[in-house]
Structures are given as structure tokens and as C-alpha cells.
Amino acid sequence: MAAVAVSVAGLLTLTACGGGDKGGSGGGQAAQKKVEVFSWWTGPGEADGLKAMRGIFEKQNPNFTFFDAAVAGGSGDQARALLSSKLQANQPPDTFQGHAGAELQGYIKAGKLESLNFLYDELKLKEVFPQQLIDQISVQGQVYSVPVNIHRSNVLWFNPGVLKTAGIAAAPATVDEFIADLAKVKKAGKIPLSIGSQWTVVHLFENVLLGSLGTDAYNALWAPNADWSNANVTKALENFKTVLSYAGTPQEDWQPAAKQVADGEAAFNIMGDWAYGYFHNPPDGGLGKQSKTDFDWAASPGTDGTFMWLSDSFTLPKGAPNRNGAVAWLKVAASKEGQDAFNPLKGSIPARKDADKSLYKDYLAWSLEQWSADKLAGSIQHGVVAPDAWKTALSDAIGLFQQDQDVAKLQQALVAAAKAGGQ
């Protein structure tokens, strides 16, 4: 926590020192040209996708200068901490990345975002985005973000060679099978399950919760007055404790944890499908691994038939120093060309329904098919189902659980978090 605080403070200092050429109407010509795009896409795969979309923006908008304000850190927790400080100080970037759904509610209620209905009308976006996605990013009939993609959160990545050595014939289909397979891998002398920093453990938690409860019971947890104290949740938390007991040493972030699977050091990793781009892309932007040989995938245990989804999107902050430049970026992010350039590299599928399906091969072809057929469940860690305050309380409880392994205490904390954040 202290390290993050120091890091965010340092970033704020850099922002304050470097912001002189974009400070409102008096900032001069440079202020009118620079378009500050704030994201957390700095890792392999995601940075490649952003670079591809940036190329389209620069080609279409030679009068603007793209400024990459990305802040490192998987899932964007550190980036959002800095962003919150900038918005509270009325120093917004021109546009910023956010997860579609509940994550943006705080910004909307605080009056920090412009409605984008004008852009949706101009570009006819309601005709090319799925209705369920429009519903998630709308508040009282107003749309506040442009979704660039759809990600799947509930993916089990595994090393086929490690599984074979451990005597495992196929990816586990249930949580009980998963626990049994973890034990087999441990006996074979490999890391059963790789994990990264704390947010990846929250990501693991949402997958075990969904796999243990089933789709309908999981989705019901996010309704008003939901019962987080019931015996089914207790059993899910016990499963989580058991699964976590097979985890290896936490890595710095999701990439090195995924790499342990690709390198044959670990058997399993539960991560979103952005991992595909990292596994598959050539070595200058990924690991250059061969699917079905070096790595493979399945729905995370117990979740086959359910697509746990999230969507990266971009917003238009009120008071954006270069509003015209921000709108130009949003048009690229919303476009078929932009999404088809971005998503194959990022390891995601397009939010648009009219994207070129021939570009989405291997894992991505599977994901497109699943998206159209599966039940849907929203991600916790990635902002769909829980507002930031609720998610933070949940994340803190899981962080403490990593230390004390007390299921009863964790369930009490989850009940309190739901009451405080959701009702």
C-alpha cells in the first residue's frame, strides 16, 4: 500500500510538472494539438493493440498529436488511483480508459463525464453494438463511454505437456476436478497454479465463485439485498481456500505468472483472454508460443456455457483540455477499422457486431462463438458488477484472507462489503 501511495504521488508530481502546455484556453497551439489518452495498456499485446489504433488516429488526424499517458499495472488499479486524483483536482486527461459497467458510476454521479449520446447518434453506434452492452454503459438513457472490445474473464490457461506428465488427460470441467488435478501436478513436482499480484487473486476468486455457484446464483449476488451469508457461498469460499493453497509464489503481475505456464514451470493459470495475445504474439510483443502445443485453454472450471465478460471503453471527461481531439479519438475507438486493428493484437473480440470475423482466429474464433451463445456473468475485478467502493472492500478482504486463510472472517467481510457498497 505504501509503495503504491509513493508511486501515485510521484506520478502526480510528474503530471503537475508536465501539464503546462495543455492548461485550458491559454495553453497555446500545443494545447490544441495534443490529445492525452489515459490508459493502463503498457504490457505486451495490449500496448501493441493501442499502437495499432494510434496509427489509425494519427493517419486520420494529422492536425492532432497523440500523447500516450498509459500507467503500468495490470487491471488498471494504480492507473485509476491516479485518475481519481486528477479528476478531483479538475485536471482531467482528454479521454481515459474505463471498464464498462458499474466502475464508471462514481464518475457519472460526480458529474465528471459528458454524455456521448451525440456521438452514438452521429455514428449510429446503437445499431452496431449489442443491446445488452448499451444497457450496461447507459445511465438514465445516457451513454457515457465507447466500448472498444469484449474480454472474457473466465479462461483457464494450461500447459498441455505439464498436464500430460501429471497424468491429466483434459482440462478440468468442474471445481472438484480442478482441485484433484492441482494435487496431481503438485505430486509431479510442478507449480500447480501460477498467480500474480493481488488483483489476479481477486480475478481467481471471481472465477471460483462463479464455478462453484453457477451463473444464476452468481448473478443474484449483485442484486439489492443479496444473501452473501448462505451456505453455498461458504462452500465456494472453502473451494477458493483450497485452490489458493496450490498457488505458487505470487509474481509481480499477470504476465510473469502466465509465462510460468508457457515455459512449462506451472500447469494452470486463470486469467482473462488478454493472455492469449501475450502467449501468441511474436517475441517483440509476446512470447511467440504455439497454441495447443505450448499452451491451451478452456472455460475456467465449472463455468462452461457462461461468458464472464468485461469491456474496455473510453470516455469524454467534462473539461477535457482538447475536447475535439478526444472526440476524434473516440471515433477511431468506435470504428470498425479501429476495433479490427486493436482486438486481434490485444487478445479480445470486438464490441461491434459487424467486425471482420476472418481476423479472429484460434482462441479468438472460439471466443466469438462463445459470446454469441453463452449465458453472461459480469466480472468483479474488471468493473462490471460492483462499483469501485464495493470492489475495493472486497479486494481488501481477499488480501487479508491471503494472510489468515479464515473463511468465516472472509464471508463476514463480504457480507459487510455488499451491504455498504451495493445496497
pLDDT, mean of residues 39-56: 91
pLDDT of residue 25: 39
pLDDT of residue 30: 57
pLDDT of residue 32: 67
Please name which of 100, 103, 97 lies closest in space to residue 68, comparing C-alpha atoms. Answer: 97
Say if strands 34-38 and 65-68 run parallel, antiparallel, or are unpaired.
parallel
* 146 and 59 assigned to the same domain: yes
pLDDT of 201 over the 90 cut: yes
* 346 and 322 assigned to the same domain: yes
pTM: 0.81
* 220 and 327 assigned to the same domain: no
pLDDT of residue 421: 77
* 197 and 267 assigned to the same domain: yes
296-346 pLDDT, tens per residue?
Answer: 999 999 999 999 999 999 999 999 999 999 999 999 999 999 999 999 888
* 195 and 334 assigned to the same domain: no
Q: Give the CATH number for residue 384.
A: 3.40.190.10
Per the CB < 8 A criterion, the answer to whether 375 and 304 are in contact is no
* 203 and 226 assigned to the same domain: yes
Look at residue 194 and tell me if it is in a domain: yes
Mean pLDDT of the chain: 90
* 201 and 214 assigned to the same domain: yes
97-149 pLDDT, tens per residue?
Answer: 998 888 888 899 999 999 999 999 999 999 999 887 887 678 889 999 999 99
Banded pLDDT at 50 (limits 50, 70, 90): very high
Region at 141 (left for phi over 0; alpha for psi -120 to 50; beta for the rest): left
pLDDT of residue 281: 84
Q: Which residues pair with 139 in a beta bridge?
A: 142
* Number of domains the chain is built from: 2
* 283 and 320 assigned to the same domain: no
Count the neighbouring beta carbons within 10 Å of the beta carbon of residue 252. 10
pLDDT of 31 over the 80 cut: no
DSSP alpha helix (H) spans, 141-230: 160-165, 175-187, 198-213, 215-220
- What is the residue type of 261? V
Rounded CA gap, 28 and 141, in Å? 37
pLDDT, mean of residues 68-96: 89
* 175 and 283 assigned to the same domain: yes
* 213 and 347 assigned to the same domain: no
The residue range of the domain holding 348 is 33-150+310-376
* 252 and 160 assigned to the same domain: yes
pLDDT of residue 198: 94
- Surface-to-core class of residue 13, CB atoms within 10 Å of its CB (0-12 exposed, 13-18 middle, 19+ buried): exposed
